[in-house]
Amino acid sequence: MTRSPPQPDPQPASLHATQAAPSMHMLCRQAPVIPVLVIEDLTHAVPLAEALVAGGLPVLEVTLRTPVALRAISLMARVPGVTIGAGTVLTPKDAQAAQRAGATFAVSPGTTQYVIDCCEDLSLPLLPGALSATEVIQLIDCGFDVMKFFPAVAAGGVAALKSLAGPFPQVHFCPSGGISQSDAQDYLDLKNVVCIGGSWMAPNVLQREERWGEIRQMAHQARQLKNGHHGTATKNRLR
């Protein structure tokens, strides 16, 4: 990724701050957890979305990892009260297809300038992934102040996010990757965590057996988690 600082010097248009960040903050504040979904059977898309929304989790990430993902997004986007994002957006083509299918935001596990530029061109809010401080700075330079931290548990977990709060107090993270109901609160208690991504409430085995009641229950439990710190005012443009 090329970096572009928020400096007075003239910059290429593509590197201007995205306008996406404020709505990304609002999206991330709607619930403590964004379910990260892998949908293998298209007939499961709507009942799954309905169960999660009924359980109190209205913002969903549908990963572009299965052949039916784009069609699932189309169907799920019509469920009342839902906001559907596309996950695993790795290329501009992914971003375009996701938006056409009905996704209103994009999530990437890591981030390239190509995807940033494309999402900006599409006015598609992006939750871009970062891991190292260098990657965080590169995203700050592109105007982001909400980022995915992936893989959360394996890359240092709560300790890593605490450390990043030192030099980057203005950045809010959505950690995901390996988080479960049992350690979710530890992440949400961090002042630089705005919400978390998780898939424990919609495991593929429950989807396959169409046990929507149980998924709704687990969503309801996840909804009870507290993300008390995420209300602090932040600005899109930093420093």
Question: Contact letters (x/-) for a copy of itself, 207-226, by CB under 8 A?
Answer: --------------------
User: d(Cα 22, Cα 209) in Å, to the nearest integer?
Assistant: 38
Confirm or reject binding of residue 87 to a copy of itself (CB under 8 A).
yes
Amino acid making up residue 53: V
Interface residue with a copy of itself among 104, 108, 192, 227 (CB under 8 A) is 108
If one asks whether residue 43 binds a copy of itself (CB under 8 A), the answer comes out as: no
119 binds a copy of itself (CB under 8 A): no
The alpha carbon of residue 86 and the mean position of all alpha carbons in its chain are separated, in whole angstroms, by 9
Known catalytic membership, residue 148: yes
Residue type, 150: F
Active site annotation includes 61: yes
Q: How far apart, in whole angstroms, are the C-alpha atoms of residue 223 and residue 211? A: 19
- Residue 169 binds to a copy of itself (criterion: CB under 8 A): yes
Q: What angle do CA 146, 199, 159 make, to 5 degrees?
A: 50
Phi-psi category of residue 233: left, alpha or beta, with phi > 0 → left and psi -120 to 50 → alpha: beta
**With binding defined as CB under 8 A, does residue 232 bind a copy of itself?**
no
Interface with a copy of itself includes 180 (CB under 8 A)?
no
Smallest separation (angstroms) from a copy of itself to the CB of 143: 13
Catalytic residue among 50, 61, 120, 135: 61
- Tell me how far, at minimum, the Cβ of 152 lies from a copy of itself, in Å: 8
Contact between 147 and 154 (Cβ < 8 Å): no
61 makes contact with a copy of itself (CB under 8 A): no
Choose among 57, 52, 34, 26: nearest CA to 175.
Answer: 34
Q: State the nearest-atom distance from the C-beta of 186 to a copy of itself, in Å.
A: 14
- Of the two residues 50 and 117, which places its CB atom closer to a copy of itself in the complex? 117
Total count of residues recorded for the chain: 239
The count of other CB atoms within 10 Å of the CB of residue 162 is 14
User: What is the residue type of 65?
Assistant: R
Q: Strand, coil or helix: what is 50?
A: helix
Asked if 203 touches a copy of itself (CB under 8 A), the answer is no
Rg over alpha carbons for the chain, rounded to the nearest Å, is 17
Query: Is 63 among the residues that bind a copy of itself (CB under 8 A)?
Result: yes
Among 164, 193, 194, 195, binds a copy of itself (CB under 8 A): 164
Question: Applying CB under 8 A, which residues contact a copy of itself?
Answer: 1-7, 38, 63, 65, 87-88, 90-94, 108-115, 129-138, 140-141, 150-151, 153-157, 159-160, 162-164, 166-169, 177-178, 239
Give catalytic residue positions.
Answer: 61, 148
